[in-house]
Amino acid sequence: MRERLLVELAERRDKVLDLAQLAAGETLLDVGCGEGLIGFGALERGAGEVIFSDISADLLAFCRQAATDLGVVDRCSFVEASADELAALEDGSVDVVTTRSVLIYVSNKQAAFQEFERVLRPGGRISLFEPINRFAIRPRATWAGYDLEPVAEIGRKVRAVYEAIQPEDDPMLNFDERDLLLLAERAGFFPVRLVLEAEIRPPEPHTWDGFLNSAGNPNIPTLAEAMEQSLTESERERLIAHLRPLVEQGHGEWRMATAHLYGNKSEEAE
């Protein structure tokens, strides 16, 4: 699973940078940089400077150390900031702004787009990758695309754990591709383009331990933790007896949609 995910991440990085049309010597702002997937990719492509920006001091320290180890720290700067508050950066100071799965964590997405527009030079570009999690919302009688109707009451108890943490108005769930286009347009980007990729298919078979001990995102518990919190021992046994064969044999439905949005700041912008 790790090897497959690394391949997918490399493909996403390359597409974000391709759509950004990054030119040698330009300055790229990697918003929500994480461990620097896009930023270090930009340096490999000849970016003059990469600004690694994240709300996590630990991740910025990781990127700084990685940049030092790679001998590129002189072409890097590091800013602890949220996507919707980039006050440390001057107006018109970067050529490209990128994100990868960042806006899904931001409540005020319009403010983030306004900040992207502000820090870009006239003619600068955005290239954003965001999952459209709303597409994956399923009926309550399922879990991660697997049918829980035979153990519906147990399934409801597990779902309640997650719904208490992430209701449907959570930033991860309260937008789709149309909202992204509207937000970019309102911020003054023109032209704007969006490529939507959506897929519905059977899931790949998974090992039970991997499925049980994985979380869909950093803000929620693993299924094992949710079961421990919400179910009795007998309920856990019933759920596992029903769900495990479905997971291991790939008997369910996988739904995923992602959006690549890219566009330009007006050449006439001051």
Average pLDDT, the chain: 94
Number of H helices, E strands in the chain: 9, 9
Residue 138 confidence class, pLDDT cut points 50, 70, 90: confident
Query: What would you measure as the largest C-alpha separation in the chain, in angstroms?
Result: 66
- Which are the contacts of 158, defined by CB distance < 8 A and separation ≥ 6? 143, 223, 226, 227, 230, 231, 239
Which of 182, 204, 209 minimizes the C-alpha distance to 194? 182
Q: Is 206 helix (H, G, I), strand (E, B) or coil?
A: coil
Mean pLDDT across 1-17: 86
- The reported pLDDT for the residue numbered 46 is 97
Contact 113, 183 (CB under 8 A): yes
Mean pLDDT across 111-116: 98
DSSP H stretches of helix in 28-108: 37-44, 57-70
CATH number for the domain whose boundaries are 2-132+173-199+257-265: 3.40.50.150
Residue 269 confidence class, pLDDT cut points 50, 70, 90: low
Contact 153, 80 (CB under 8 A): no
CA distance 103 to 113: 9
Mean pLDDT across 89-106: 97
Mean pLDDT across 208-215: 93
| Angle separating helix axes 223-230 and 152-165, nearest 10 degrees | 110
- The reported pLDDT for the residue numbered 270 is 52
- Residue whose pair of structure tokens reads 């090897």 in the numeric block: 3
CA distance 27 to 121: 10
Mean pLDDT across 67-82: 97
φ and ψ at residue 80, rounded to 5 degrees: -90, 110
Per domain, the residue ranges of the chain are: 2-132+173-199+257-265, 138-166+204-249
- Beta strands 142-143; 120-131: pairing state: unpaired
CA distance 143 to 136: 11
Residue 266 confidence class, pLDDT cut points 50, 70, 90: confident
CA distance 52 to 36: 7
